[in-house]
Chain A
Amino acid sequence: MAKIVIDGREVEARSDVNLLQACLEAGEDLPYFCWHPELGSVGACRQCAVKQYANADDTRGRIVMACMTPVTEGAIISVEDPEAKEFRGEVVEWLMTNHPHDCPVCEEGGECHLQDMTVMTGHRERRYRFDKRTHNNQELGPFVKHEMNRCIACYRCVRFYRDYAGGQDLGVFASHNNVYFGRHESGTLESPFSGNLIEVCPTGVFTDKPFSKMYSRKWDMRGAPSVCSNCATGCNTIINERAGKVRRTLNRYNDEVNRYFLCDRGRFGHGWVNAPTRLRSAGYVINGDMTPVPAQAALDHFGKIAASGKLVGIGSPRASLESNYALRKLVGAENFSTGMAEPQHSLVKLAVSLLAAGPARIATMHEMETADGALILGEDVSATSPRMSLALRQIKRTAFNKAADQARVPHWMDASVRTLGQDTISPLFVVSPTVTDLDGFAQDAIRAMPEDAARLGFAIAHRIDTSAPDVAGLTEAEAASASLIAEALLASEKPLLVSGLQYASAALLQATANIASALAAKGKTPLISFVLPEANSMGLALMDGLSLDTIAARSADATLIVLENDLSRRLDGAQFDALVESAANLVVLDHSVTPTAIRSQVTFPSAAYSETDGTLVSAEGRAQRFFQVVYPDAPLQAGWRWIADMAQAAGLSHVKPWGKLDDLIAEIATTMPVFARIPEAAPGSDYELEGTPLRSQTHRVSGRTAIRANISVRDIPPPSSPDTPLHSTMEGSYSTDMPGTLVPFYQVPGWNSEQSLNRFQQEIGGKMRGGDCGVRLVEGVANAAGSYAMDVPSAFAPRAGQFMLLPEARVFGTDEMSMMAQPIVERAAPAVVRIGGAVAKGAQVRLSLNGEVFTVDAVSDPSLPEGVATCPPHMVSRSWSAPGWVSLEITAPAERIGTESAV
């Protein structure tokens, strides 16, 4: 820390930051554009000018750019200095010379950093009286709108898109005041992180296209803190609502998890909650047809069914811990399934047990960014956990800091560090059967089939600690790679190991765990992460339940209750039919119409994540709470409330209705030790700040009563829920000190954009002032003895006449719920089978998967070995997702012209 003086006020400032950060952390209103807390300083906009004095006797001082000037002990600066203020005002005036002043029709309006900074600098009068230059806009795909005339050339977009996220197809064109930010031609932005441009852009050049179709001003929407449910990463989000519809998803800062950025699946994958595919009423089958009935009628009907026999419950890794627990309680642990089929069920449990018993700490995404030796073993993280892959991309950038330290350049001087570090060898290694987006960030990207990747992992562990099992029969190249990677991990201060379930290989998980144990045996403190398939896979593994396969055998003649789970994605057609047909009754609770719901005899419409509250456990083992932003009309209610109602209807007295979510959470915490800490994930519904509950709308929300005054002037009472600590209106407290897990929107006086986040943090880029989000449930055992898995698989061997078909996970297309959101559907490329070896252009394959035959377009993928092919899971066969031997019949493209569908 250093003492600095700002306008005569002595403040403590961090000595490793720049004066802009120091000023903001000291509460100063110092405007800026090009600096971004995660992207660092480049000195382009010249907006953050302050006066700096050489010493106490210096009365003249000189103007410096705060973002480019390091904090030094005793520094004396002035923000209020008239010369500095005049310069800042003029910078805005310059920026506005070509800006169209179209705030009234601009979707950034009301949460625009440029508006805020313009007001802050006091620029009120337009003196520029000449023509403005104009640009043509581009069509950038289903996610992002482009309006270049609003651009103030801060260069943030390209710095995020290219430098930070590694995207290639956004650039800067032309020069002087004609600079243009866009693609080389109109077309869909390729980066799966393109949506962040919306938040990174300080004005309205890049705006949210799906939001635009149901646009509302920021101040007219309700906000609620939420957790993304589109993968297991657990990114924190804010969801916005107006008139009962979810309008958009924004990033919510969690310093250890997603920090400033989301992936596009998370940001644009929420549309299913508004879609016509939602279940909106209870019903049961009358005369062969599913018939909507009042909720009580459906419950009564259920009561009758349930009375007649055994109840079997199938939970879901996409449902909340609370609903799963309620179902498990209703049917009994011995009749409860995690909702996962084999091999996923066992693999998730294996992953969790390896994490819980191993010596490595589960890495937060923030920790991943600074790993100085990292191995990704047999997982295409960029497809299975896109946000994690963005964190992993930063490993290379972090490595640049060494070169910067040598040249005594501070890490926040982003462009300088990138210049100095450009020849730095990345400490990241990628081992994967297919090309991944992370290959370009790695020192080496090794192509290996899952078995061979696992063997390499075992070999690495052995080279680190010889008491780990060795691998016989490695090729020379494999042996060399194993030694190289082992040395790199051993040499690192913060070694990181990442694997996952994409290729459904226990050996991969075990090999990864072996490396962690070996590193620990050598005194290292390794970090580890396993990518899991779904938002609550970890929670379900911890909850304990039977696999779908096991429960299927026990559900004959039982009443099968399926909670928020589409079994047709997990069981192949025959298994699915057998299960449904053997059960006496199928009861489905879900928020959407799925192939499983269609087969049910009784249906209950459950509330979506945006309409209810609950807990998910991410792959990091972090229990996090999501809160409702929509107050749904009856009969929609949380799954666990339906279950309590069902118990009551069936006269099952062991399930007592829980009055509110907190009661249920308390019960879970006391009855299941593994969940003992989940109440800490977020404050309860009785939370009050300054004596009142929190509000979820801004003070400015317009016309709550006036909007329907032509119909009635009666003030309709605002909706409420006993489950959330957030009040549904603008009434209530709101402060920068509120818990990070309860922030419904970011706004402080003078800062209406997401940039106001700076005010909510203890220090910029640090923890939230009001405390952390979520609680970690799985921590590993620091001194776990080096116990090693010994089952080294044999090398992959091709089979004559057959293909090993591997699942090709995709950011867009292979996930369940996001594919019910229109923008994601538009973005998803058609399914295609990639085949190692030559394939004629325009060819197709006939393949048999899980007993069904499909015809799919085929392309040659030279990066795959002969006899290996890939297919996107769930996109061709609804249920297929695990590797297996298949026979492929490649059909010549004789009559097919122009159907090449390479992605």
Chain B
Amino acid sequence: MSTAELTAQDAELPQDLVDTFIDMAAHEHHPRGAAIEALRLVQERFGWINDAHLAHTARILGMSQADLDGIATYFNLLFRKPVGKNVVMLCDSVSCYIMGAEQTRERLCKKLGVKMGETTPDGEFTVLPIVCLGHCDHAPAMLVGKDLFGPVRPEDIDGIIDDIRARKK
């Protein structure tokens, strides 16, 4: 099931997140200070931030939807569209470029049968470019979920992806 299906029926945020957000807001000088962290938590739970969750979060923080969505769409790591179970982020910055990230990318896209920015039809993987991961001494670097890989040469791709697929089963 893709994250879109996972959250489609949930119009409201679960109570524990609501409580967390209220608590976070109370600890800020102004509730809106908790905006980015709250959006991150929504995404951590559901994989992405849907309109209903955004609206509910905005209400808790006393912000308008336009205001909060202005933030959600501003930051690279906040997803306003559904993503696959595993978000594969391949560094496209300079050190990794020098170390052959473009070849790694080609291999990755071929392996998964998608272009950058797309999700595999089975909903398992979304591949995205990411700016420098601060792993330049292990370039090319790649982040899958919270796991950092590097150096990822084209020939390493099959192993990494197959491992993840196997782990899920």
Contact = CB atoms under 8 A, between A and B. Distances in A.
User: Quick check: do A and B touch in the complex, using CB within 8 A?
Assistant: yes
Interface of A: 162, 168-175, 180, 183-185, 422
Nearest to A168: B64
Contacts of A185: 51
B74 A169 contact: no
B74 A171 contact: no
Nearest to B72: A173
Given A168-B64, A169-B64, A184 B69 contact: yes
In the complex, the 3 A-B pairs of residues with the closest C-beta atoms, listed nearest first: A171-B66, A168-B64, A184-B65
B73 interface: yes
Max chain A C-beta neighbours (<10 A), residue from B30, B51, B66, B69: B66
B72 to A, nearest CB: 9
B154 to A, nearest CB: 30
A169 B70 CA distance: 11
B66 A174 contact: no
Contacts of A180: 73
Contacts of B73: 173-175, 180
Given A168-B66, A171-B64, A172-B70, 16 more contacts: A162-B67, A168-B67, A169-B64, A169-B65, A169-B66, A171-B67, A171-B69, A171-B70, A173-B69, A173-B73, A174-B73, A180-B73, A184-B64, A184-B66, A184-B69, A422-B30
A805 B81 CA distance: 48
A175 B64 contact: no
26 contacts: A162-B67, A168-B64, A168-B66, A168-B67, A169-B65, A169-B66, A171-B64, A171-B66, A171-B67, A171-B70, A172-B70, A173-B69, A173-B73, A173-B74, A174-B73, A174-B74, A175-B73, A175-B74, A180-B73, A183-B66, A184-B64, A184-B65, A184-B66, A184-B69, A185-B51, A422-B30
A29 B51 CA distance: 46
B36 to A, nearest CB: 14
Contacts of B74: 173-175
Interface in B50-76: 51, 64-67, 69-70, 73-74
A170 B64 CA distance: 9
Contacts of A183: 66
Contacts of A162: 67
Contacts of A175: 73-74
Contacts of B51: 185
A185 B73 CA distance: 13
Contacts of B30: 422
Q: Is the interface of B mostly helix, strand, loop or mixed?
A: helix
A173 B67 contact: no
Interface string B18-46: 00000000000010000000000000000
Interface string B73-88: 1100000000000000
A169 B69 CA distance: 11
B78 to A, nearest CB: 11
A601 to B, nearest CB: 55
A173 B64 contact: no
Nearest to B30: A422
Max chain B C-beta neighbours (<10 A), residue from A170, A171, A422: A171
A169 B66 CA distance: 5
A162 to B, nearest CB: 8
A172 B68 CA distance: 10
Contacts of A169: 64-66
Nearest to A161: B66
Nearest to A183: B66
A704 to B, nearest CB: 46
A611 B134 CA distance: 71
A77 B67 CA distance: 39
Contacts of B67: 162, 168, 171
Nearest to B75: A175
Nearest to A178: B73
Contacts of A174: 73-74
A832 B86 CA distance: 50
Nearest to B63: A168
A175 B70 CA distance: 9
A741 to B, nearest CB: 39
B127 to A, nearest CB: 20
Contacts of A184: 64-66, 69
A84 to B, nearest CB: 32
A143 B128 CA distance: 40
A183 B70 CA distance: 10
A168 B30 CA distance: 17
Contacts of A170: 66
A171 B71 CA distance: 10
A739 B51 CA distance: 53
A170 B65 CA distance: 9
Nearest to A172: B70
A59 B152 CA distance: 55
Nearest to B74: A175
Nearest to B58: A184
Nearest to B76: A175
A691 B63 CA distance: 58
B80 to A, nearest CB: 9
A171 B30 CA distance: 20
A183 to B, nearest CB: 6
A302 B1 CA distance: 82
A183 B65 CA distance: 9
A173 B64 CA distance: 13
A170 B67 CA distance: 8
Max chain A C-beta neighbours (<10 A), residue from B30, B64, B65, B74: B64
Max chain B C-beta neighbours (<10 A), residue from A162, A170, A173, A422: A173
Nearest to A176: B74
Nearest to B65: A184
Contacts of A173: 69-70, 73-74
A199 B74 CA distance: 27
Contacts of B69: 171, 173, 184
B74 to A, nearest CB: 5
A824 B67 CA distance: 27
A140 to B, nearest CB: 12
A889 to B, nearest CB: 34
A422 B29 CA distance: 11
A185 B51 CA distance: 10
A174 to B, nearest CB: 5
Max chain B C-beta neighbours (<10 A), residue from A169, A173, A183, A184: A184
A169 B68 CA distance: 10
Interface in B73-112: 73-74
Nearest to A190: B64
Nearest to B64: A168
A184 B51 CA distance: 9
Contacts of B70: 171-173
A173 B67 CA distance: 9
B108 to A, nearest CB: 25
A664 B42 CA distance: 71
A173 B71 CA distance: 7
A555 to B, nearest CB: 54
A785 B66 CA distance: 52
A170 B74 CA distance: 15
A271 to B, nearest CB: 29
A213 B70 CA distance: 32
B73 to A, nearest CB: 4
A54 B64 CA distance: 46
Contacts of B64: 168-169, 171, 184
A174 B51 CA distance: 15
A174 B65 CA distance: 14
A185 B66 CA distance: 8
A170 B30 CA distance: 21
Nearest to B54: A184
A184 B67 CA distance: 8
B62 to A, nearest CB: 10
